[in-house]
Chain A
């Protein structure tokens, strides 16, 4: 059958795309819109590397169908830095060496931003449970958790 014609907003830009029913939002982002910052680690919602914001809600883009986002707002890692300047989380991750291979980093950053928007002063436990859906195999999470809490402090200072 014919593909679906979808109009949506991605990182503030109006986009149009065609997709098959079985294509996920992640497939669309990576293969159709060439936004490859969102990664596929499992395609089953277990690793979080494909985390994006859908109408302000943190989701795994591998668990959303492309045709479901018609008329909705999608935010990906590519939209996190504003113009010249990196988001404080991005800056802190660099400063704290909170990434090693970097494959989980986009998902971790998108998820962390979602956390700090809801909870500007999270405890370590809160950060760890919020990020439990973002697998990282390199860092042991230590520097990631520290970086999120340090970035939260920076953001609170405004």
Chain B
């Protein structure tokens, strides 16, 4: 098994494009190493992208934020301004595993592991984040909701990697929130996840919203109907009920060891409502 740690995106892409047999990108390794140990994966080449500065940087760009694919949850948490602008994204990244895991796990890895239950993905999708991909044919931007096609299925070509994410500029009175349901208080994989990002006007009316649900379908969902259900409202009780209904209607979950179809569908509505209320509360105080 070969290990390479190139210091440039081009170098990483070249290695992956030229790879014979199975090649894997190593960011935080919190999924890759587990799958290797469990004999689920036995790659011939591992490309560690943490030595590439673009993947490790957090910077302001066009009024928004660019986050390197290999930035860890713990590093995001320590970034005060980012945390203020995108509390939902940062809290989602810090729900991934334990303190120890947050010291390693990255946004890029969480997305590219291709799990519908990834915690940071609904938050990124709700945020309207765009993934910047670099590959043999150059660079392209793809909305995060279009990167994952299904369990372990990604829209990446051979040799293509996620280099960074761009979070859009934040209008005044905007904020986001992410909630997930797990049986314990920590450590579990999300049974349901809900990310909401919204903007309110001076009168407290919701002018824009994005709602994303995790672990309720083969891929993380962007639920337009759920957003429409609250836009133009103050998230009063009827709006909350419309939101819950729209969220549940979008669910196409499975029964597994972590939850039943009924449970996931029911709780998806509850979490969407609770996340929206938190986001609203944050937005109002974000002048």
Interface, chain A (partner B; CB < 8 A): 1, 4, 20-22, 24, 43-46, 48, 51, 54, 57-60, 62-65, 67-68, 111, 114-115, 129-134
Contact = CB atoms under 8 A, between A and B. Distances in A.
B186 A133 contact: yes
A85 B29 CA distance: 36
Given A57-B103, A68-B48, A44 B185 contact: no
10 contacts: A21-B3, A43-B34, A45-B97, A46-B187, A59-B100, A62-B33, A62-B37, A63-B33, A65-B29, A68-B48
A64 B50 CA distance: 12
A45 B186 CA distance: 13
A4 B3 contact: yes
A114 B99 CA distance: 10
A65 B46 CA distance: 11
Nearest to B3: A21
Contact of A45 (B26, B36, B74, B100): B100
Contacts of A21: 1-3, 46
The A interface is mostly helix, strand or loop, or mixed, namely mixed
Contacts of B28: 63
A23 to B, nearest CB: 10
Nearest to A50: B100
Contact of B74 (A4, A22, A57, A133): A57
Contacts of A24: 33, 37
Interface in B93-125: 97-101, 103-104
Interface centre among B26, B34, B74 (most CB of A within 10 A): B34
A63 B2 contact: no
Contact of B100 (A22, A58, A129): A58
Contacts of B185: 129, 132
A4 B5 CA distance: 12
Nearest to B33: A63
B212 interface: no
A106 to B, nearest CB: 13
Nearest to A64: B29
Contact of B103 (A43, A59, A129): A59
